[in-house]
Structure 1
Amino acid sequence: MKLATWNVNSLKVRLPQVLDWLAAEQPDVLCLQELKLEDKAFPLAEIEAAGYRAAFSGQKTYNGVAILARAPLADVGCGIPGFADEQKRVIAATVGDLRVVCAYFPNGQAVGSEKFAYKLDWLRALTAWLGDELTRHPRLALLGDYNIAPDERDAHPDWQEEIHVSPPERDAFRALTALGLADAFRLFEQPEKSFSWWDYRMMAFRRNFGLRIDHILLSPPLAAACTGCHVDKAPRKLERPSDHAPVVAEIGH
């Protein structure tokens, strides 16, 4: 089973790339973030023609999340229960015996800002809810753009900004793994300076000046069966790419 996550930074713009990637890579589940379109504009016909079902939660211009899967999607839920939030950042669905949670974590803007406080509140709510979800769904995967580089290896050594690498954000990431979730990427030896996001500016991709902020966290049964995880940089090399690359994890039976 192949699970993937990709912040596409506008599904309208990136739809041809997504369809090409689905055809080439054939993931069983693909989680998308930053759709940046309303539900009525979601390209369901094109996704279904590619052989996938879809559950989605979008809004105009900002945010938006979707789960694409070959198998039927059941028990679909949007948002974090009990956390009032107008921003469309979370969608969950059951695919077979797998509970998939797709999330677009808040950026946080700057340490100490109101948006940073919202990010930390959002993370606390997500973590509490996932603790409950794990009691009901032992086979759970949390995929998405976390906007957190968990440790020093996950940020270019010259990264100067506090956001994405601050101690409170990294503590929040550790709180998620403390639920028993494993970072699929770090289950395996990886090349140095492995990143999943590169700014559009200053030739950041060509210089590999990036961050690893897109993650797949796996519950213990899935982590035990995980056979590999990698960042697929090929879509980032295309014309008009997203600034993020897909992350892919493979789970054995």
Structure 2
Amino acid sequence: MKVATWNVNSIRTRQPHVIDWLKTNNIDVLCVQETKVIDQDFPKTPFEELGYHLYIYGQKAYNGVAIFSRQPLEDVTMGFTPIVGESLAEDFDEQKRVITGIFQGVRIVNLYVPNGSAVGTEKYDYKLRWLKVLKQYLTQFLEKSKQELCICGDFNIALEDKDIYNSKSKEDHIMSSPLERESLKDILDLGLKDAFRKFTSEGGQFSWWDYRSGGFQRNRGWRIDHHYLTPKLYEKAISCTIDIEPRKLTQPSDHAPVIVEF
């Protein structure tokens, strides 16, 4: 069983890349982020012709998440509200960032965590509050079911210094500030483990590179796309890799797919 996560940075723009990648990779579940399209305009047909069932939660021009699955998913929900209730979810579901469903007994949670813009801004505060709700959301699944969880997506957080090409001034940089890291660690304390770090402790391996200043060519990247697993599923993981090949294409997404295999 292979589960991949990929911030495609516009599914309509990157549609040929995603189709070609799925044709050459035996992926059971693909979680995509930043689809940037309302549901009725999502290009479903080409992916359905590849044999995927599509579950879509999108909005115009921004955000948006979707799951492509080789088999129909069970118990699909979108947003925080169905799980934590309106009072706790507040207005967070106005941005389409959360979708989940069960594949072969494993609950897949696909996330697009807010970027936060810059430390100390309103968007930064929004990100920290969003992460608190995420913890409550995941707690509901962990406490009320015996399912294993694969929580994946673009977290917009590099948890360790070795996840950044240059960790200078990390305390003041969005995606690596102490409060962001503490918020993510607080979530991981629920019992979740980083699938990628099961197989490598080395730095210098990234999943996102800025389009500017030759970021990819100079490998000036960040590892911000993750798979976090519950303990039993973590033990079943046999690999977790970052496929940088799509990042080499013309007009690529700035992210690369990350694949975990069980």
Please, which moves more after superposition, 58-67 or 161-170?
Answer: 161-170
Q: Paired residue for 2:185? A: 174
Give the aligned length.
251
1:21 maps to which residue? 21
**1:97 equivalenced with 2:108 (yes/no):** no
Q: C-alpha deviations, 1:24-51, integer Å up to 9, x for none?
A: 1121111000000000011111111011
1:20 positional shift: 0.8
Question: Residue 9 of structure 1 aligns with which residue?
Answer: 9
Greater shift, 144-153 or 43-52, is seen at: 43-52
Q: Does 2:257 match 1:246? A: yes
RMSD of aligned Cα (Å):
1.1
Q: Is the 8 A contact 2:159 2:181 kept in 1?
A: yes
Match of 1:141 among 150, 164, 168: 150
The question of whether the paired residues in 2 share the 8 Å contact of 1:7 and 1:144 is answered with yes
Which of the numbers 221, 236, 244 marks the counterpart of 2:247? 236
- With normalisation by structure 2, the TM-score equals 0.93
Q: Confirm or deny that 1:121 pairs with 2:129.
A: yes
Q: 1-side partners of 2:168 and 2:14: how far apart?
A: 27
Measured after TM superposition, the shift of residue 218 of structure 1 is: 0.6
C-alpha distance in 1, partners of 2:175/2:62? Answer: 19
Deviations 1:48-84 (A, max 9, x none): 1011111010000000000111011121111112313
Alignment of structure 1 residues 28-107 onto 2, 5 Å: 28-81=28-81, 82=85, 83=89, 84-85=91-92, 86-107=94-115
- Retained in 2: the 8 A contact 1:108–1:118? yes
For residues 159 and 7 of structure 1, the distance between their equivalents in structure 2, rounded to whole angstroms, comes to 26
Contact 2:150/2:228 (<8 A) preserved: yes
Q: Which moved more, 1:165-174 or 1:155-164?
A: 155-164
Q: Which one-letter code corresponds to 1:7 in the other structure? A: N
Q: Secondary structure at the match of 1:126?
A: helix
In the alignment, what sits opposite 1:165?
A: 176
> How far does residue 172 in structure 1 lie from its aligned partner after superposition?
1.2
Structure-1-length-normalised TM-score = 0.96
Q: Is 133-142 or 27-36 further displaced after alignment? A: 133-142
Contact residue 247 and residue 256 of structure 2 kept, 8 A: yes
Structure 2: distance between partners of 1:53 and 1:246: 19
In structure 2, distance between residues paired with 1:192 and 1:128: 31
Give the CA deviation at 1:132. Answer: 1.2
The alpha-carbon deviation at position 188 of structure 1 amounts to 1.2
What secondary structure, in the 3-state scheme, does the structure 2 residue paired with 1:202 have?
helix
Q: Is the 8 A contact 1:98 1:137 kept in 2?
A: no
Q: Distance in 2 between matches of 1:36 and 1:186?
A: 30
Q: What SS does the corresponding residue of 1:62 show, helix, strand or coil?
A: coil
- Letter aligned with residue 159 of structure 2: P
**Structure 2 unaligned regions, length at least 5:** none
Q: Would the aligned equivalents of 2:161 and 2:167 in 1 still touch at CA under 8 Å?
A: no
The 10-residue stretch of structure 1 (238-247 or 137-146) with the greater mean CA deviation from structure 2 = 137-146
Question: Post-superposition shift, 1:191?
Answer: 4.2
- CA separation in 1, counterparts of 2:66 and 2:15? 13
- Alpha-carbon distance in 2 for matches of 1:41, 1:219: 35
CA distance in 1, matches of 2:197, 2:117: 27
Q: Does 1:206 align with 2:209?
A: no
Q: Which moved more, 1:187-196 or 1:15-24?
A: 187-196
Q: Which residue identity does 1:55 align to in structure 2?
A: Y
Structure 1: which 4+ aligned runs deviate by more than 4 Å? 158-161
